[in-house]
Copies of this chain bind each other. A is one copy, B any other.
């Protein structure tokens, strides 16, 4: 059993109200994989250029993330530069696709019998290509972003029809469904096929919505947010890693996934880049779980 994570891998330059970092390891697949690595075996699928730092590869190996799906090709690694004037929204200053422009993701042979798949935020065409190779997975999820919702909603709808779990934030699900009420919006997405929609609400936590049930969880309270980049990816990575241990997607597995997703998103945003996802003591994660349960039940 292992979780396959497909998504972007890049070097980010990020500025937030409390600091900045340059060319730091990032991308949806990186955040999700590092977060998931605390709970299950992870296989990352993505592409980087020859300039990708050896230290980043070492970091992934140290987290037992299998790299057979990671292509290293001639050229430069994807780069993104963004600034957060407000905490809940990044303004993109520059995007260099570089080797990511020709990315054609493939599930490595060793992953044909994997259990779960997380399609991180990439072009829906690439998500569809991966889906065509992974028919037998137990839990398949997709994340996305407003960029694809506005540019290729029909392709994204094709993806959604083929997955079990959809992660969207409030703005995204409203834009995608043209419904202002998130419960109405979620019902539209569920009617397309998925069994579960997780609506992410930033500092207010998230709500998981199923056909006949739902579950709310607040964000883990933090003294200081430093960098929101990758919060949704960290959340989705941990969520998918946890539900890997469950045969079915029911209220119990969803609750457990939400708790750990919430914890890892909090760990992530408390530091710049992926720093918050590195070297976390498992006992700290368990203490955060005890806290969350005490504060909500």
Contact = CB atoms under 8 A, between A and B. Distances in A.
Interface of A: 181, 183-184, 201, 204-205, 207, 213-218, 221, 223-224, 294-297
B214 A295 contact: yes
Given A205-B218, A213-B295, 10 more contacts: A181-B223, A181-B224, A204-B205, A205-B216, A214-B295, A215-B295, A215-B296, A216-B296, A217-B296, A218-B218
A241 B181 CA distance: 31
A170 to B, nearest CB: 10
A129 B218 CA distance: 38
B221 A183 contact: yes
Contact of A221 (B214, B218, B221, B296): B214
Nearest to A208: B295
A174 to B, nearest CB: 13
Contacts of A181: 223-224
A204 B201 CA distance: 9
A223 B184 CA distance: 8
A228 to B, nearest CB: 14
